[in-house]
Amino acid sequence: MKPRTRPPQAGLRQAVQRLTLGAGERPNVFLPYPSQLVACEPLKRLTEIVCWVDPLLRYSRLPVLGVDIKAGSPRGRSPPKYSACLLKDRGEPEYYDGISLNELINIARKLRRGYLATDNIFELVKNSKSLRKFLASIPEEVKLIQVTGPPGEAAPLRRLAREAGLSYEGKPGSLASARLIAELAALGYGSEIVAFNPEYRVIISKNRSVKQGGSGNPRWKRFIEAAIQSEANRISAEFNRAGIDYDLYVEKGPGGLRRAEFIVYAPKEAILSVVKEHEWGPVKISIEPSWKKRIEFTKTELNRRPRPIMVGIDPGMSVGIAVMDLFGRLLGLETLRRASRSEVIETLAKYGRPILITTDVSPPPRNVIKIAQTFGAKLVTLSEHMKIEEKTKLVREFEGEQQISVGSSHERDALAPLIKVYQRLKVLYEKAEAHLSERPDNETVDRVRMYELLARGASIVEAIEGAKVREAEGEAETTEGLRARQREIAALRRIVRQKESKIKALEEEIDHYRRLVEEMERQIANLRNELDKMRELRNVEIERDRTVAQLRRRIRDLEEEHVRKDAVVESLRDEIRRLREEIARDELGPEWVPVKSLESLARDSVEDAVGREWIQEGDVVIVSDAASAGLRSAKLLTEAGVYALIYVKSPPPREVLEYLRESGVYVTDIESVEVRWRGAVPHVRREFLIRVAATAQRVKEAEEERESQKEDRGDILSILWEYRRSLLEEESASH
């Protein structure tokens, strides 16, 4: 659980709560130590107060660090050395010998929560200034305890040890004294030291050194007021960003603000980190301490139970205060100008213990909320804003009843909502009295307590039960009985520590076996993960093999199907070709012969026709457009043995035409040949085919003759070269 931190002015709030709360009562707000305040030792500086408070937790289970000085003094030239003993809830004590003050502070910081105990606070610090610095250097949840009690009532350490039943031999040394101090603090001896933080006022006003006159004076005043408002907004934003608590009072003007005053509840160092004092230009910023006097709390004030009161507050630049008891009697009316919370709290504490605070401002201002929290009082706000006529009427009637006179509008605005709240409570009081008159034990009820509980919001039955007066039972323990009990408690604590040491050893052994079990569980988990991975891998391999087998069967089936379909396609092609020839012969007569046709002589088209044997040796080909022909297409046609090429539209390119004619292919246009069409099949006369075939034969024979001549000429040349070589050899031999 995160420890709760003490807000600014927490020390003052706690002191006021202890001042105003009776025995056995607890406030509604956070109060770390609601025990009785024993005494107060004022320090030299006016802005600081140190009070001595009994610790709340008897026989604390929090860590306790006992400290005793070993050598030197805080006021001496050489730095002092200390001995310390740390007692924890479990385990053996820890000892530190010959440590410096900084090392002691570091040990206290590591505690975070607990107690730092000593028999004399001035063994740690030399004056009030260094005490405040020391308290600021340790964690706020580490409480500083002087086990011998507050100044003026301090008891010797050895006498306290004997009373508590703590054993020691002779005069204890510094380490033994440190342990005695720690054990006494753990048993609840001593008083806590609480330092109260001061308040400061940050005032933003016109710089008096700036003077402007003449006709521009009003305009210059508005400029200054706007500058003050701008600076107040900036400082307010900086305080909010830094988390610094403050109240703000302003005087408005036509151009902005004539004056702004912050009451800041923080140390001056924190304030200076946000805003600096300066006096230049049109604006002046000054920082002044807010407290003008010490606040002291004595035993007589604390032992007296203050009366419960109800308070009405009118917040503003001037704070109006109206105080009334539970029976509706007015106790006081006051007006405080630019009052801080501490001044309002001090004023209310003079009248008694506030249990209910009301105001006619909704929602209530922050300073009113914090004042109510300080006293643990119930905060009541009216649901509807009261008009001036209603306030005036209520106050005039109350003045006539109480024979009083209200001095200012601020007091009137504070008294009016208080009267309205009391009128509501009065009806509740009458119902409680009627209910009480029916009970036989009405004489044993404390009516002040009953009215207080009703004002705090309790039901009638709860208020009556809580206000019953019960007789004390039993007798107070004698001093000897208390000492015997303390000795018994000390002995039991030693036994508990021994048992706790044994428990700690057993817990460490359990932790060891627990770690072994966790390690084995991790190994088992890793093995299970590996097994799962192997199973997944095996399943993947099985699925892959199954898929491969299925694909192979599918491929084999498709290949067989492809072969069957190719055979069917080829048979159908032969059948189509045969049918076309029969149809052509039947209709055109035997003198007409079908020839092949192509759309173009593009390479892909010719390769496809030759590849599927659509064009064969001795065919005549009619092409619609021969302009797309290339040498590759011409070579394919000549290699296939085409006799003639008839083009319909455009002739083939020149180089293609020459190549075809040199290769013995007869090339002509369709106008030179008689062509008839039967459906999509062209036909030519048989005489044309015979003539083309004869031409092709002549070209072939001429080609063969040229080849023969080339061979014969090659033979003659070889004979001549052989003869010449022989002559050369003979000449070389004769020489």
pLDDT tens digits, 500-519: 888 888 888 898 999 999 99
Contact between 134 and 124 (Cβ < 8 Å): yes
Helix (H) or strand (E) holding 606: helix 603-611
Tokens representing residue 705 in the block: 């003759």
> In the 3-class helix/strand/coil scheme, how is 554-568 assigned residue by residue?
HHHHHHHHHHHHHHH
Query: Does residue 734 have a pLDDT over 90?
Result: no
Residue closest to 652 by CA, chosen among 631, 673, 682: 631
User: Tokens representing 391?
Assistant: 């306030």
Measured from the Cβ of residue 326, the count of other Cβ atoms closer than 10 Å reads 23
Residue 585 CB: number of other CB atoms within 10 A?
15
Q: Give 3-state DSSP helix, strand, coil % of the chain, rounded to 5.
A: 50, 20, 30
Average pLDDT, the chain: 77
pLDDT in tens, 285-329: 988 876 443 333 223 333 345 789 999 998 888 889 999 999 989
Rounded Cα–Cα distance for residues 465 and 675 (Å): 133
Structure tokens at 169: 């031999």
Predicted confidence (pLDDT) per residue in 174-192, tens digit: 898 999 999 888 887 887 7
Under 8 Å CB-to-CB from 24, ≥6 apart: which residues? Answer: none
**Mean local confidence (pLDDT), 52-62:** 45
Q: Dump pLDDT digits (tens) for 552-561.
A: 999 999 999 9
pLDDT at 406: 86
pLDDT of residue 7: 35
- pLDDT band (50, 70, 90) for residue 699: low
Question: What average pLDDT does the segment 84-104 reach?
Answer: 89
What pLDDT was estimated at residue 534?
92
Report the alpha-carbon distance of residue 33 to residue 472 in Å, rounded.
Answer: 25
- The pLDDT, as a whole number, for residue 199 is 77
Q: Band of the pLDDT at 469, cuts 50, 70, 90?
A: low
Tell me if 95 sits within 8 A of 84, measured CB to CB.
yes
In this model, does residue 696 exceed pLDDT 90? no
At residue 8 the predicted structure's pLDDT band, cuts being 50, 70 and 90, is very low
